[in-house]
């Protein structure tokens, strides 16, 4: 062991820390290489399972597999692999009747945070593990470099706290990003409904309207536009409009989107006018957005009490009381 420490670093004070870091990063490198190879091997299997699932849901007269499905080098296969792998893991999880795994839950949370990559879950776990190990490792090196002597219990507690922070920080960042993107979707959804009404009255079908609106909203609301593009991909794959809207609600976690899915389903079942239903629902979305703005405006005076009490009131007290104090001093202490 002493020979290994001398090879890694000549300073015995930092030898244990450097050895731990070298072993840890070597282990993590091998682990993520294995995970990456496994993910690449299983990606095409996920796509094939999705195709089998779709054909099982359809009628018994479905055709057999096409040639392009068995040709991994074909452009069409690569296109479906890039655009449908995420939908196969996230949107189709509830339909298969299987219990949702931790990986699919993490994938769903990452999609809600705007990370649509098929390997985003692996990257997230890698960042979490690296931060968990890097923060205490850097702290230990800094303590040894500046020759800061701490009791063993204090040193262990500090390193454990830093490791816990490194493990929790990515999750907190994910939650904060989800809230920001959810607010972006909530702000842009009334505009989406207005554009849907215009397209419906112009004679466009819902599928063509969503495909056009997804490109229009990508500049003003990027996250909502990306989700609408995934919605158009689902419609192209053969999903019904209400089913695709429900999947959009799972990705955005918005109650308004789930209500829209129920509205479209009832419209199809009852045979009513879709344009009129979308217009009524669009007006309701506008009223809801105005209600949220009024609620924030009414809550503003209450939120201003604390900053006024901490920063404005002491200044006003000094300005008002200082002349009186000076006059009293001049009168009594001449």
At 6-42, the pLDDT tens digits run: 444 444 444 445 555 556 666 666 666 666 666 666 6
CA distances to 29, 108, 131, 162, 263 from 168, rounded to whole Å, are 22, 18, 9, 10, 39
Cα-Cα-Cα-Cα dihedral of 72, 73, 74, 78, to 10°?
Answer: 70
Cα–Cα distance measured from residue 55 to residue 76, given in angstroms and rounded to the nearest whole number? 18
Per-residue pLDDT, 8: 43
Q: Is the per-residue pLDDT at 127 higher than 50?
A: yes
Cα–Cα distance measured from residue 212 to residue 202, given in angstroms and rounded to the nearest whole number? 13
Q: 3-state SS string over 128-149?
A: HHHHHHHHHHHHHHHHHHCCCC
Per-residue pLDDT, 286: 83
- Mean pLDDT score of the chain, rounded to an integer? 77
Q: Summarize the confidence of residues 152-167 as an average pLDDT.
A: 91
Q: Summarize the confidence of residues 304-317 as an average pLDDT.
A: 87
Q: Summarize the confidence of residues 234-256 as an average pLDDT.
A: 87
Per-residue pLDDT, 255: 86
Is the Cβ–Cβ distance between 194 and 167 less than 8 Å? no
Per-residue pLDDT, 207: 84
- In this prediction the pTM is 0.65
Cα–Cα distance measured from residue 80 to residue 116, given in angstroms and rounded to the nearest whole number? 15
Q: How many CA atoms lie within 13 A of 145 on its CB side?
A: 7
Per-residue pLDDT, 200: 85
Q: Is the per-residue pLDDT at 58 higher than 60?
A: no
Q: How confident is the model at residue 72 (pLDDT cuts 50, 70, 90)?
A: low
**The two three-digit tokens of residue 20, written as one number:** 């731990």
Q: Is the per-residue pLDDT at 266 higher than 70?
A: yes
Cβ contacts of 71 within 8 Å, gap of 6 or more: 77
Per-residue pLDDT, 98: 46
Residue with tokens 């091998």: 30
Q: Summarize the confidence of residues 193-212 as an average pLDDT.
A: 87
What would the pLDDT profile of 141-158 be if each residue is shown by its tens digit?
998 888 888 898 898 899
Q: What is the DSSP string of 265-282?
A: HHHHHHT--HHHHHHHHH
Cβ contacts of 223 within 8 Å, gap of 6 or more: 114, 181, 184, 185
Cα–Cα distance measured from residue 73 to residue 181, given in angstroms and rounded to the nearest whole number? 36
């Amino acid at each position: 062991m002493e020979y290994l420490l001398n090879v890694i670093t000549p300073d015995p004070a930092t030898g244990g820390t450097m050895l731990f870091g070298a072993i840890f990063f070597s282990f993590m490198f091998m682990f993520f290489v294995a995970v990456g190879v496994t993910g690449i091997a299983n990606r095409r299997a996920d796509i094939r399972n999705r195709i089998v699932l779709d054909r099982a849901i359809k009628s018994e007269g479905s055709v057999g597999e096409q040639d392009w499905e068995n040709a991994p080098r074909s452009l069409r296969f690569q296109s479906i692999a890039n655009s449908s792998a995420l939908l196969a893991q996230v949107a189709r999880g509830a339909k298969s009747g299987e219990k949702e795994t931790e990986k699919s839950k993490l994938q769903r949370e990452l999609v809600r945070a705007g990370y649509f990559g098929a390997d985003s879950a692996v990257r997230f776990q890698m960042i979490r593990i690296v931060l968990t190990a890097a923060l205490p490792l850097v702290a230990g090196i800094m303590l040894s470099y500046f020759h800061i002597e701490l009791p063993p219990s204090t040193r262990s507690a500090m390193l454990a706290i830093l490791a816990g922070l490194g493990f929790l920080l990515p999750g907190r960042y994910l939650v904060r990003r989800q809230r920001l993107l959810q607010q972006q979707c909530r702000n842009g959804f009334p505009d989406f409904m207005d554009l849907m009404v215009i397209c419906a009255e112009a004679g466009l079908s819902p599928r063509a309207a969503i495909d056009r609106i997804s490109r229009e909203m990508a500049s003003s609301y990027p996250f909502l536009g990306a989700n609408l593009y995934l919605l158009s991909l689902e419609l192209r794959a053969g999903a019904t409009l209400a089913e695709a809207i429900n999947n959009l609600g799972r990705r955005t976690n918005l109650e308004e989107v789930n209500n829209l899915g129920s509205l479209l389903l009832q419209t199809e079942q009852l045979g009513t006018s879709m344009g009129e239903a979308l217009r009524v629902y669009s007006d309701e979305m506008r009223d809801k957005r105005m209600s949220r703005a009024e609620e924030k405006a009414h809550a503003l005076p209450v939120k201003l009490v604390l900053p006024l009490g901490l920063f404005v009131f002491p200044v006003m007290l000094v300005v008002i009381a200082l002349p009186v104090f000076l006059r009293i001093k001049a009168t009594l202490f001449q």
